[in-house]
Copies of this chain bind each other. A is one copy, B any other.
Amino acid sequence: MTPVAVVLTEERILDAAEDVLRRFGPAKATVVDVAKALGVSHGSVYRHFPTKVALRDAVARRWLDRLAEPLDPARDTDGPAAERLLRWLERLAAIKQGLALNDPELFATFGQLTAEAREVVAAHVDHLAAALTEIIADGVSSGEFAVPDPVPAGRAVLHATARFHHPLHAAEWADPAIGSELREVWRLLVWGLAARP
Contacts and interface: CB of A to CB of B under 8 A. Distances in A.
Interface residues of A, number: 26
* Copies of this chain, tallied across the complex: 2
B184 A192 contact: no
Contacts of A184: 152-153, 155-156, 159
Contacts of A152: 184
A190 interface: yes
Interface string A176-187: 000001001101
A195 interface: yes
Contact of A185 (B160, B168, B187): B160
Contacts of A95: none
A136 to B, nearest CB: 11
Contacts of A190: 192
Given A162-B162, A192-B195, A195-B194, A156 B185 contact: yes
A144 to B, nearest CB: 13
Contacts of A39: none
A193 interface: yes
A169 interface: yes
A189 B156 CA distance: 10
Nearest to A189: B188
Given A168-B169, A191-B192, 17 more contacts: A152-B184, A153-B184, A155-B181, A155-B184, A156-B184, A156-B185, A159-B185, A160-B160, A160-B161, A162-B169, A168-B168, A188-B192, A189-B192, A190-B192, A191-B191, A191-B193, A191-B195
24 contacts: A152-B184, A153-B184, A153-B188, A155-B181, A156-B181, A156-B184, A156-B187, A157-B188, A159-B163, A159-B184, A159-B185, A160-B160, A160-B161, A160-B163, A160-B188, A162-B169, A168-B168, A168-B169, A188-B188, A188-B189, A188-B192, A188-B193, A191-B192, A191-B197
